[in-house]
Structures are given as C-alpha cells and as structure tokens.
Structure 1
Amino acid sequence: MARITESLSRYEALGLLKGAKIGRLVFSHQALPAVRPVNHVLLDDRVIIRAHTGAALLGPARDGAVVAYEADEFDTERRTGWSVVVTGEARLVRDPDLQQRYHEALEPWIGGDMTHTVSISLDLVTGCRITSRTTTDGRPER
C-alpha cells in the first residue's frame, strides 16, 4: 500500500501536540546535542514541562536558549502516523502564580522533586502526517 506525507497546518499540529502524552526535548548540553523524553502540557501558547534540580535542560532554560520539542505517534502495523516539532525559546517559569498553575496542570511521569518549570515558546511549529493513499473510489491503494 502506498504512503504519502502531508504537511500539517500550525492549527492541526498543535491539536495533535495537545493530545500527545510524551515527547522529546532537544537542546544543547556542554556543546553537544542532548535529547530527553518528557511529558508536557500545552498551555498559554507554550509547551510546559517540569524538571528536577540538576536536570541538564535547566541550563539552556536559564539562558533562554532555542530548543526543539518533538512529539509523535505511529502505527507500525499500518505504517501511518504523525510527527510535530516545536522550535522556540526555553525559559524558566519564575512567576509563583504561573508555577502553581502549571504544576497543577502537569503531573510528572517520574518521581522526585520536579519543582522547576520550563516553558517553550511556539515560534516555529511544523508537522507531518503519514497516511495511506486512496484510490478515487476511497479504497486504499495497493
């Protein structure tokens, strides 16, 4: 069965990201690329994640570094799915009211002292969907 890749609009991409349970944060750590799986919530036009003291991602967030956040979902049997990437500036959330709001909205998957909150701006939002190509009568193309 033939597959095609479709670009997603910003609106479609953010809708999929909002429903995703986990993603990967891509950032620079000690001048090298680093990737960490994290759960998130999409609030206030920002990706919100939580981190523990000493987490490598806190350095870039303190500096306002540009990071990428990627989430996806694939069906390996059907070979279909989607992927969304957000590129934006990471910042530590310092406002106590926002910290409280975000902590209430996002329960970390892992234990420990996850007292730090990082927000990522939605400067660039891209995404694609891999689907089955269909014939003119609506049946999957083989």
Structure 2
Amino acid sequence: MIIEERQITDQLIQDLIDLSRDWAEEESCYGYRPNKKEDIIGNRIFVAVEEKRVCGYLLGNIHPSKGMKSIMEDGTPYFEVEEIYVIPSRRSQGLGAELFRYVEERLKEDVNIIVLSTATKNWKAIFHFYLDELGMDFWSARLFKRIV
C-alpha cells in the first residue's frame, strides 16, 4: 500500500469521480452526490494506492478561519477535509486512519487544526472512527428532521 499526495491529472480526476459514484450508490450519506471535475480541482489530494488502483482518498484544502472563535482565532490556517473515502473491501482495516494520519504528518508545518463535517447515516461508527481512533474533538452538531 502506498499513501501519497498526488498532483491532479486527468486520470486521477477520473479515478476520484468513479470512486465518488460508487460512494453515492452506497447511499451511506445524506445528500451525497458524485463529484464532478470542478469539485476536485483546487483541492489537495491524498490517495491510498494498492496494485496501481486508488482504493482510498482524502481531499481538502487549507483555509484561513473565520467565525470559529471557540476553537481558533480568525485568520488561523486550518485544513478542511472535504471528503475521505475508502472502498468497501478495504474498510475496517486501518486504511482510513492511515490516510488521515499521513495527511496530519504532511500538513503539520502549515496548520495545527484539521476540521471536517460528516453527513453519514451511520453516525455511531463514524464518531468512533474520528473521536476514538483518530483523537479528534467534538465541536458542533447540525441535525435535521424531514417533515412529511
């Protein structure tokens, strides 16, 4: 398994679009739709590759904070994770955690905070992953209820 940051190429964009299509078909997240090229361009892309196949990715970017005063002063650079995805056959094997930790190591000179949001339907499992396994802190929650 190779985990690395990659520059954007047409092939990488297509690989990520294909994976995001698979993810959308899982229906594991509220409102998730497959990526388009413009959703990927401009992000830093980190991939897990096995036998020349991307089997996991994390994409996001560095931003200056604004309005997050409970955790950092305005203007503080932080990394916002837009997506982290691992193919079903490689889940629960530590690959997502390895990918996240690689990103932490790569970014520690540029930022000291990583932020992400999740729309997963399996919030208990994802909270275990982010809080217990990766040591993230809970900051806020946004809940919804459909009225029919």
Question: Higher relative contact order by CA 8 Å / sep ≥ 6: 1 or 2?
Answer: 1
- Computing the radius of gyration from Cα coordinates, the structure with the larger value is 1
TM-score (norm 1): 0.27
Higher helix share: 2
Q: Structure 1 or 2: larger strand share?
A: 1
TM-score by length of 2: 0.26
